[in-house]
Protein backbone atom coordinates (compact mmCIF):
# COMPACT_ATOMS: atom_id res chain seq x y z
CA UNK A 1 0.00 0.00 0.00
CA UNK A 2 1.32 3.45 -0.87
CA UNK A 3 1.90 5.91 1.94
CA UNK A 4 -0.80 8.59 2.26
CA UNK A 5 -0.01 11.94 0.70
CA UNK A 6 0.86 14.70 3.12
CA UNK A 7 3.61 16.84 4.62
CA UNK A 8 5.59 14.88 7.19
CA UNK A 9 6.50 16.92 10.29
CA UNK A 10 7.09 14.13 12.82
CA UNK A 11 10.84 13.49 12.58
CA UNK A 12 11.20 12.97 16.33
CA UNK A 13 8.94 9.91 16.07
CA UNK A 14 10.69 8.43 13.04
CA UNK A 15 12.05 9.58 9.70
CA UNK A 16 11.57 8.42 6.10
CA UNK A 17 14.67 6.43 5.10
CA UNK A 18 17.03 8.31 2.80
CA UNK A 19 17.20 7.03 -0.78
CA UNK A 20 20.95 6.43 -0.48
CA UNK A 21 20.35 4.34 2.64
CA UNK A 22 17.73 2.19 0.95
CA UNK A 23 19.92 1.72 -2.13
CA UNK A 24 22.99 0.57 -0.18
CA UNK A 25 20.92 -1.74 2.00
CA UNK A 26 19.40 -3.38 -1.09
CA UNK A 27 22.87 -3.95 -2.53
CA UNK A 28 24.13 -5.50 0.71
CA UNK A 29 21.03 -7.66 1.07
CA UNK A 30 21.79 -9.21 -2.30
CA UNK A 31 25.48 -9.81 -1.58
CA UNK A 32 25.95 -10.29 2.19
CA UNK A 33 22.83 -12.10 3.32
CA UNK A 34 24.62 -14.92 5.17
CA UNK A 35 25.09 -15.39 8.92
CA UNK A 36 28.25 -13.47 9.86
CA UNK A 37 29.10 -16.11 12.48
CA UNK A 38 29.44 -18.82 9.81
CA UNK A 39 32.99 -19.81 8.90
CA UNK A 40 32.45 -20.45 5.19
CA UNK A 41 32.98 -17.87 2.49
CA UNK A 42 29.42 -16.53 2.55
CA UNK A 43 29.59 -16.00 6.31
CA UNK A 44 33.02 -14.41 6.17
CA UNK A 45 31.81 -11.97 3.51
CA UNK A 46 28.87 -10.96 5.73
CA UNK A 47 31.18 -10.62 8.76
CA UNK A 48 33.47 -8.30 6.82
CA UNK A 49 30.55 -6.09 5.79
CA UNK A 50 29.33 -5.99 9.40
CA UNK A 51 32.70 -4.94 10.79
CA UNK A 52 33.19 -2.36 8.06
CA UNK A 53 29.82 -0.91 9.04
CA UNK A 54 30.96 -0.79 12.67
CA UNK A 55 34.14 1.06 11.68
CA UNK A 56 32.12 3.48 9.56
CA UNK A 57 29.76 4.25 12.44
CA UNK A 58 32.65 4.65 14.86
CA UNK A 59 34.41 7.09 12.53
CA UNK A 60 31.38 9.40 12.54
CA UNK A 61 30.68 9.07 16.26
CA UNK A 62 34.26 9.57 17.45
CA UNK A 63 34.61 6.25 19.23
CA UNK A 64 36.63 3.09 18.83
CA UNK A 65 34.86 0.28 16.93
CA UNK A 66 35.35 -1.83 20.07
CA UNK A 67 33.26 0.72 22.00
CA UNK A 68 30.22 0.33 19.72
CA UNK A 69 27.58 -2.33 20.38
CA UNK A 70 24.82 -2.75 17.81
CA UNK A 71 21.33 -3.09 19.34
CA UNK A 72 17.79 -3.31 18.02
CA UNK A 73 17.23 0.40 18.65
CA UNK A 74 17.29 3.12 21.25
CA UNK A 75 15.12 1.29 23.78
CA UNK A 76 17.37 -1.76 23.91
CA UNK A 77 20.47 0.44 24.06
CA UNK A 78 19.03 2.31 27.05
CA UNK A 79 18.14 -0.92 28.83
CA UNK A 80 21.56 -2.41 28.14
CA UNK A 81 23.19 0.71 29.57
CA UNK A 82 21.14 0.90 32.76
CA UNK A 83 20.32 -2.72 33.49
CA UNK A 84 23.54 -4.05 31.96
CA UNK A 85 25.80 -1.80 34.03
CA UNK A 86 23.52 -1.99 37.05
CA UNK A 87 23.89 -5.78 37.08
CA UNK A 88 27.63 -5.38 37.66
CA UNK A 89 27.15 -3.20 40.74
CA UNK A 90 25.74 -3.62 44.21
CA UNK A 91 22.32 -1.93 44.31
CA UNK A 92 22.60 1.78 44.96
CA UNK A 93 20.88 4.91 43.72
CA UNK A 94 20.10 5.78 40.11
CA UNK A 95 19.57 9.43 39.22
CA UNK A 96 17.33 10.36 36.29
CA UNK A 97 15.57 13.57 35.34
CA UNK A 98 11.85 14.25 35.57
CA UNK A 99 11.61 14.42 31.74
CA UNK A 100 13.00 11.06 30.66
CA UNK A 101 11.81 8.90 27.78
CA UNK A 102 9.51 5.97 28.71
CA UNK A 103 12.31 3.50 27.89
CA UNK A 104 14.49 4.97 30.64
CA UNK A 105 11.59 5.01 33.10
CA UNK A 106 10.94 1.34 32.37
CA UNK A 107 14.60 0.38 32.84
CA UNK A 108 14.72 2.38 36.08
CA UNK A 109 11.60 0.56 37.32
CA UNK A 110 13.26 -2.77 36.71
CA UNK A 111 16.34 -1.68 38.66
CA UNK A 112 14.07 -0.55 41.49
CA UNK A 113 12.59 -4.05 41.59
CA UNK A 114 16.14 -5.33 42.12
CA UNK A 115 16.74 -3.14 45.14
CA UNK A 116 17.93 0.11 43.56
CA UNK A 117 16.73 3.53 44.69
CA UNK A 118 15.56 5.75 41.84
CA UNK A 119 15.58 9.50 42.29
CA UNK A 120 14.08 11.91 39.76
CA UNK A 121 15.79 15.30 39.57
CA UNK A 122 13.66 18.40 38.91
CA UNK A 123 13.78 20.58 35.80
CA UNK A 124 12.86 24.21 35.19
CA UNK A 125 10.14 25.69 32.98
CA UNK A 126 12.29 25.01 29.90
CA UNK A 127 13.02 21.41 30.84
CA UNK A 128 16.62 22.07 31.89
CA UNK A 129 18.01 20.01 34.75
CA UNK A 130 18.53 21.61 38.16
CA UNK A 131 22.32 21.35 38.38
CA UNK A 132 22.39 22.14 42.09
CA UNK A 133 20.00 19.26 42.78
CA UNK A 134 22.21 17.00 40.67
CA UNK A 135 25.34 18.01 42.56
CA UNK A 136 23.70 17.36 45.93
CA UNK A 137 22.39 13.96 44.80
CA UNK A 138 25.73 12.68 43.46
CA UNK A 139 26.95 11.64 46.89
CA UNK A 140 26.63 8.01 48.04
CA UNK A 141 24.69 5.79 47.53
CA UNK A 142 24.42 7.15 43.95
CA UNK A 143 26.11 4.70 41.55
CA UNK A 144 24.70 5.67 38.14
CA UNK A 145 23.18 8.68 36.35
CA UNK A 146 21.04 8.49 33.22
CA UNK A 147 19.77 11.62 31.45
CA UNK A 148 18.04 12.39 28.20
CA UNK A 149 20.33 14.75 26.26
CA UNK A 150 17.76 15.99 23.75
CA UNK A 151 14.19 15.85 25.08
CA UNK A 152 11.86 14.37 22.48
CA UNK A 153 8.67 16.26 23.40
CA UNK A 154 9.97 19.79 24.00
CA UNK A 155 13.38 19.75 22.32
CA UNK A 156 15.45 20.73 25.36
CA UNK A 157 19.20 20.10 25.12
CA UNK A 158 20.75 19.53 28.53
CA UNK A 159 24.04 21.23 29.49
CA UNK A 160 26.01 18.06 29.00
CA UNK A 161 29.45 19.49 29.69
CA UNK A 162 28.37 20.81 33.09
CA UNK A 163 26.49 17.64 33.95
CA UNK A 164 29.32 15.37 32.82
CA UNK A 165 31.92 17.35 34.74
CA UNK A 166 29.94 16.95 37.97
CA UNK A 167 29.50 13.22 37.41
CA UNK A 168 33.20 12.76 36.65
CA UNK A 169 34.19 14.66 39.77
CA UNK A 170 31.91 12.44 41.85
CA UNK A 171 33.17 9.29 40.12
CA UNK A 172 29.67 8.29 39.01
CA UNK A 173 29.16 6.84 35.50
CA UNK A 174 26.85 8.83 33.21
CA UNK A 175 24.61 7.42 30.49
CA UNK A 176 22.98 9.80 28.03
CA UNK A 177 20.00 9.04 25.85
CA UNK A 178 21.19 10.70 22.63
CA UNK A 179 18.50 9.21 20.40
CA UNK A 180 17.19 12.65 19.40
CA UNK A 181 20.64 14.24 19.20
CA UNK A 182 22.71 11.94 16.98
CA UNK A 183 22.36 13.09 13.39
CA UNK A 184 21.33 16.59 14.40
CA UNK A 185 24.46 17.68 16.27
CA UNK A 186 28.04 16.49 15.92
CA UNK A 187 28.85 13.77 18.46
CA UNK A 188 32.44 12.92 19.36
CA UNK A 189 32.31 10.23 22.02
CA UNK A 190 36.02 10.53 22.75
CA UNK A 191 35.53 14.14 23.84
CA UNK A 192 32.20 13.84 25.66
CA UNK A 193 32.15 13.56 29.48
CA UNK A 194 29.91 10.49 29.33
CA UNK A 195 30.43 6.76 29.81
CA UNK A 196 27.47 5.32 27.89
CA UNK A 197 25.55 6.80 24.95
CA UNK A 198 22.49 5.34 23.21
CA UNK A 199 21.23 6.10 19.69
CA UNK A 200 18.78 4.84 17.05
CA UNK A 201 19.06 4.78 13.26
CA UNK A 202 15.46 5.62 12.40
CA UNK A 203 15.71 9.12 13.90
CA UNK A 204 18.22 10.14 11.19
CA UNK A 205 16.72 8.56 8.06
CA UNK A 206 18.22 5.15 8.71
CA UNK A 207 16.30 1.88 9.06
CA UNK A 208 14.08 0.91 11.95
CA UNK A 209 15.27 -2.04 14.01
CA UNK A 210 18.84 -0.99 14.74
CA UNK A 211 20.60 1.32 17.14
CA UNK A 212 23.80 1.32 19.13
CA UNK A 213 25.21 1.73 22.59
CA UNK A 214 28.60 3.39 22.92
CA UNK A 215 30.46 2.03 25.93
CA UNK A 216 33.56 3.65 27.42
CA UNK A 217 36.52 1.28 27.60
CA UNK A 218 36.80 -0.43 30.97
CA UNK A 219 33.14 0.00 31.92
CA UNK A 220 31.58 -3.32 32.93
CA UNK A 221 28.33 -4.49 31.32
CA UNK A 222 26.32 -7.67 31.70
CA UNK A 223 24.34 -8.86 28.65
CA UNK A 224 20.55 -8.73 28.61
CA UNK A 225 20.32 -11.46 25.98
CA UNK A 226 22.25 -14.70 26.47
CA UNK A 227 22.91 -17.55 24.10
CA UNK A 228 25.74 -16.44 21.86
CA UNK A 229 28.95 -14.49 21.78
CA UNK A 230 27.89 -11.78 19.35
CA UNK A 231 28.70 -8.11 19.94
CA UNK A 232 31.59 -8.93 22.24
CA UNK A 233 29.39 -11.22 24.29
CA UNK A 234 26.97 -8.37 25.08
CA UNK A 235 24.10 -9.24 22.73
CA UNK A 236 23.29 -12.76 21.62
CA UNK A 237 21.60 -13.21 18.25
CA UNK A 238 22.50 -13.18 14.57
CA UNK A 239 23.65 -9.69 13.69
CA UNK A 240 21.51 -7.65 11.25
CA UNK A 241 24.22 -6.87 8.69
CA UNK A 242 21.93 -4.97 6.33
CA UNK A 243 20.57 -2.76 9.11
CA UNK A 244 24.09 -2.02 10.37
CA UNK A 245 25.05 -0.83 6.90
CA UNK A 246 21.91 1.34 6.85
CA UNK A 247 22.89 2.96 10.14
CA UNK A 248 26.41 3.61 8.87
CA UNK A 249 25.16 5.23 5.67
CA UNK A 250 22.62 7.37 7.52
CA UNK A 251 25.31 8.64 9.89
CA UNK A 252 27.61 9.46 6.98
CA UNK A 253 24.88 11.39 5.17
CA UNK A 254 24.22 13.51 8.24
CA UNK A 255 27.95 14.09 8.69
CA UNK A 256 28.08 15.30 5.09
CA UNK A 257 25.45 17.93 5.82
CA UNK A 258 22.23 16.25 4.72
CA UNK A 259 20.41 17.86 7.65
CA UNK A 260 22.18 21.23 7.56
CA UNK A 261 20.16 24.41 8.10
CA UNK A 262 17.10 22.67 9.49
CA UNK A 263 17.00 25.31 12.19
CA UNK A 264 16.18 27.88 9.49
CA UNK A 265 13.13 25.90 8.39
CA UNK A 266 12.16 25.37 12.01
CA UNK A 267 12.48 29.06 12.89
CA UNK A 268 10.41 30.18 9.91
CA UNK A 269 7.66 27.79 10.96
CA UNK A 270 7.92 28.95 14.57
CA UNK A 271 7.35 32.59 13.62
CA UNK A 272 4.32 31.67 11.55
CA UNK A 273 2.76 29.65 14.37
CA UNK A 274 3.47 32.25 17.05
CA UNK A 275 1.58 34.74 14.89
CA UNK A 276 -1.61 32.93 15.89
CA UNK A 277 -3.34 34.03 19.08
CA UNK A 278 -3.30 31.28 21.68
CA UNK A 279 -0.21 29.47 20.37
CA UNK A 280 2.76 29.53 22.73
CA UNK A 281 6.20 27.94 22.58
CA UNK A 282 7.11 25.17 25.02
CA UNK A 283 10.73 24.39 25.79
CA UNK A 284 13.71 26.69 25.17
CA UNK A 285 13.22 29.60 22.75
CA UNK A 286 15.62 29.09 19.81
CA UNK A 287 15.61 32.83 19.11
CA UNK A 288 17.45 33.57 22.36
CA UNK A 289 18.54 30.08 23.52
CA UNK A 290 19.75 28.41 20.28
CA UNK A 291 22.16 26.08 22.06
CA UNK A 292 19.49 24.72 24.37
CA UNK A 293 17.11 23.29 21.75
CA UNK A 294 17.35 20.58 19.10
CA UNK A 295 17.81 22.33 15.74
CA UNK A 296 14.94 20.53 13.99
CA UNK A 297 12.45 20.62 16.84
CA UNK A 298 9.45 22.82 17.56
CA UNK A 299 6.79 22.34 20.24
CA UNK A 300 3.87 24.58 21.10
CA UNK A 301 0.87 24.72 23.41
CA UNK A 302 -2.39 25.54 21.66
CA UNK A 303 -5.47 27.26 23.06
CA UNK A 304 -8.61 28.62 21.45
CA UNK A 305 -9.21 32.35 21.03
CA UNK A 306 -10.69 32.50 24.51
CA UNK A 307 -7.51 31.06 26.00
CA UNK A 308 -8.89 27.60 26.76
CA UNK A 309 -6.29 24.88 26.03
CA UNK A 310 -7.28 22.51 23.22
CA UNK A 311 -6.67 18.77 23.25
CA UNK A 312 -3.35 18.08 21.52
CA UNK A 313 -4.31 14.65 20.19
CA UNK A 314 -7.48 16.05 18.67
CA UNK A 315 -5.38 18.71 16.97
CA UNK A 316 -3.13 15.99 15.54
CA UNK A 317 -6.14 14.33 13.96
CA UNK A 318 -7.48 17.60 12.60
CA UNK A 319 -4.13 18.59 11.13
CA UNK A 320 -3.91 15.23 9.37
CA UNK A 321 -7.25 16.08 7.75
CA UNK A 322 -5.41 19.14 6.44
CA UNK A 323 -2.55 17.00 5.13
CA UNK A 324 0.04 17.56 7.87
CA UNK A 325 1.54 14.77 10.00
CA UNK A 326 2.49 16.10 13.44
CA UNK A 327 2.58 14.67 16.95
CA UNK A 328 1.44 15.31 20.50
CA UNK A 329 3.65 13.99 23.27
CA UNK A 330 6.06 11.09 22.85
CA UNK A 331 5.34 8.65 20.03
CA UNK A 332 6.37 5.86 22.43
CA UNK A 333 3.47 6.68 24.77
CA UNK A 334 0.89 7.57 22.15
CA UNK A 335 -1.79 5.26 23.53
CA UNK A 336 -2.31 7.37 26.63
CA UNK A 337 -4.86 10.14 26.98
CA UNK A 338 -3.52 11.91 30.07
CA UNK A 339 -1.62 15.16 30.12
CA UNK A 340 2.06 15.00 29.19
CA UNK A 341 4.19 13.99 32.17
CA UNK A 342 7.04 15.99 30.67
CA UNK A 343 5.03 19.23 30.54
CA UNK A 344 3.68 18.61 34.04
CA UNK A 345 7.25 18.21 35.32
CA UNK A 346 8.09 21.53 33.69
CA UNK A 347 5.40 23.27 35.73
CA UNK A 348 2.50 23.51 33.28
CA UNK A 349 -1.08 22.95 34.39
CA UNK A 350 -2.85 19.71 33.54
CA UNK A 351 -4.93 21.45 30.87
CA UNK A 352 -1.87 23.06 29.32
CA UNK A 353 0.03 19.78 29.47
CA UNK A 354 -2.66 18.16 27.34
CA UNK A 355 -2.51 20.84 24.63
CA UNK A 356 0.99 20.24 23.30
CA UNK A 357 1.88 19.85 19.63
CA UNK A 358 5.28 18.75 18.31
CA UNK A 359 6.45 19.59 14.81
CA UNK A 360 9.87 18.34 13.74
CA UNK A 361 11.43 18.93 10.34
CA UNK A 362 13.88 17.03 8.15
CA UNK A 363 15.87 17.38 4.92
CA UNK A 364 12.98 16.03 2.85
CA UNK A 365 11.18 19.36 3.42
CA UNK A 366 11.45 22.71 1.68
CA UNK A 367 10.24 26.13 2.82
CA UNK A 368 7.27 25.91 0.47
CA UNK A 369 6.07 22.79 2.29
CA UNK A 370 5.58 24.78 5.48
CA UNK A 371 3.67 27.83 4.29
CA UNK A 372 0.28 26.21 4.85
CA UNK A 373 0.91 24.88 8.36
CA UNK A 374 -0.22 27.95 10.32
CA UNK A 375 -3.43 28.45 8.28
CA UNK A 376 -4.16 24.72 8.67
CA UNK A 377 -3.69 24.95 12.43
CA UNK A 378 -6.05 27.92 12.55
CA UNK A 379 -8.74 25.97 10.68
CA UNK A 380 -8.18 22.97 12.98
CA UNK A 381 -8.57 25.19 16.03
CA UNK A 382 -11.80 26.67 14.71
CA UNK A 383 -13.27 23.21 14.06
CA UNK A 384 -12.38 22.02 17.56
CA UNK A 385 -13.66 25.20 19.20
CA UNK A 386 -16.97 24.73 17.37
CA UNK A 387 -17.30 21.14 18.60
CA UNK A 388 -19.65 20.88 21.61
Show which residues are catalytic: 332
| Count of alpha carbons within 13 angstroms of residue 134, beta-carbon side | 26
Q: Evaluate whether 148 touches 135 at the Cβ level (below 8 Å).
A: no
State how far the alpha carbon of 140 is from the alpha carbons of 93, 115, 147, 182, 360, in Å.
8, 15, 18, 32, 40
Q: What's the residue count for the chain? A: 388
Return the exposure string of 317-346: e unless at least 16 CB atoms fall within 10 Å of the residue's CB, then b: ebbeebebbbbbbbeeeeeeeebbbbbbbb
Report d(CA 117, CA 109) in Å as an integer: 9
Cβ partners under 8 Å of residue 388, min gap 6? none
- ∠ CA 194-75-117, rounded to 5°: 65
Cβ partners under 8 Å of residue 275, min gap 6? 374
* CB-CB neighbours of 307 under 10 Å: 8
Amino acid sequence: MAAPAGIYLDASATTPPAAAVVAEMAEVQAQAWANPSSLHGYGLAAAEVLERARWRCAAVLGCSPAELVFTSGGTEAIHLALRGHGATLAPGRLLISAVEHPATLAAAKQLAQQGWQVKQLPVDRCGLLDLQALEQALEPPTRLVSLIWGQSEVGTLQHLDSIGARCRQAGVPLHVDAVQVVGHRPVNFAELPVDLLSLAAHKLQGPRGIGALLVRRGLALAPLLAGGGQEGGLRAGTEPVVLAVGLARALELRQQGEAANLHGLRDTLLMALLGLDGVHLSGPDPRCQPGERLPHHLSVLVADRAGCPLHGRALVRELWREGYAVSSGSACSSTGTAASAVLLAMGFSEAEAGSGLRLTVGPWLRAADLTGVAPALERARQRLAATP
